[in-house]
Amino acid sequence: MEYAVLVDPAKCIGCRACQVACKRWNNNPGEETTFSNEWTNPPKLSYNTYTHIKFELEYNQTTGDTKWRFFNWRCMQCKVPACAEACPVKAITKYEEGPVVIHQDRCIGCKFCVSACPFEIPKFDSVSGKVSKCHMCFDRVAHGKEPTCVQSCPTDALVFGTRDSIIQKAKERKEELNGYIYGDVDNKPLGGSGFIYVLDVEPSVYGLPNVGENLSPTVPVLNLSKWLLVPAALGGLAYLVAWRKRRMKEKEE
């Protein structure tokens, strides 16, 4: 049974319950932050911060209108995760239920996943020497229970369900908003994602990158570069053959 989460930023009120719930469920320590002119706090995702709300204040010069955009940002739980492809020790698994999980016991901290992810989600921690990110509460999802952030959301900006039902809901909401779906239907980054966004404006306004359906060439190149050993071996073989030919000729003389 594949599950997904529908994210509806228009309903988000920026209460950050999801951030707190995530910390509690995963026993992640808080992060020391500093006062700045940004509301997004912590300002960046990190090894200990799997999700946060991006606060964007949109100011219309002509009309003088302001509009808050609250956007829940975290791992997209892609169908074909670039991070999993890039990991040399196969420490990242895409479960059929949907979650993409970095297994901490297997992670070697090489940071290939960090460079592979088009959303720049996996984060490295120098203390543990490993990388981690939102894992869609796979320990809960495995039992059919919604992730803890979804459970905590007071406004149903986050909704959990089977993938088919979520896509259905997304289509309905898109009609209502006259908006866009990001993650499936209209826009399928990396084949589609486990977190599906239904937006009232173009994805780029929310900072969602334009990621193709297929993996960008960098990850396969990384995986396939080891096949350069084949021409290397062939080259060595060519030298060996040329050498033996010479030796045979020598022996004849």
Shortest approach of another protein to residue 186 CB, angstroms? 27
In terms of CB distance, is 67 or 90 closer to another protein?
Answer: 90
153-192 mask for another protein (x: CB under 8 A)? ----------------------------------------
99-118 mask for another protein (x: CB under 8 A)? ------xxxxxxxx-xxx--
Shortest approach of another protein to residue 53 CB, angstroms? 24
Q: Which one of 37, 63, 229, 252 is in contact with another protein (CB under 8 A)?
A: 229
Shortest approach of another protein to residue 37 CB, angstroms? 20
Spatial separation of the C-alpha atoms in residues 138 and 141, rounded to whole Å: 5
The structure tokens listed for 221 are 């190149």
Enclosing H/E stretch for 233 = helix 229-252
3-state secondary structure of 3: strand
Residue 196 DSSP label: E
In terms of CB distance, is 89 or 142 closer to another protein?
Answer: 89
| C-alpha R_g of the chain | 23
Is residue 247 close enough to count as binding another protein by CB under 8 A? yes
Residue type, 153: C
Instruction: Note whether 37 and 197 are within 8 A (CB).
Output: no
User: Which one of the spans 1-9, 71-79, 157-165, 239-247 is the region binding another protein (CB under 8 A)?
Assistant: 239-247
Spatial separation of the C-alpha atoms in residues 226 and 83, rounded to whole Å: 18
Q: Which one of 2, 38, 58, 120 is in contact with another protein (CB under 8 A)?
A: 120
Q: Which one of 89, 142, 155, 168 is in contact with another protein (CB under 8 A)?
A: 89
CA–CA distance from 197 to each of 7, 96, 154, 187 (Å)? 5, 20, 18, 10
Strand pairing category for 3-7 and 158-162: antiparallel
The residue assigned the tokens 């289509």 is 171
Shortest approach of another protein to residue 183 CB, angstroms? 23
Is residue 226 close enough to count as binding another protein by CB under 8 A? yes
Within 13 Å and on the Cβ side, how many CA atoms surround 211? 26
Q: Using CB under 8 A, list all residues that contact another protein.
A: 86-91, 105-112, 114-116, 120, 124, 126-127, 129, 218, 221-222, 225-226, 228-229, 231-233, 235-236, 238-239, 242-243, 246-247, 250
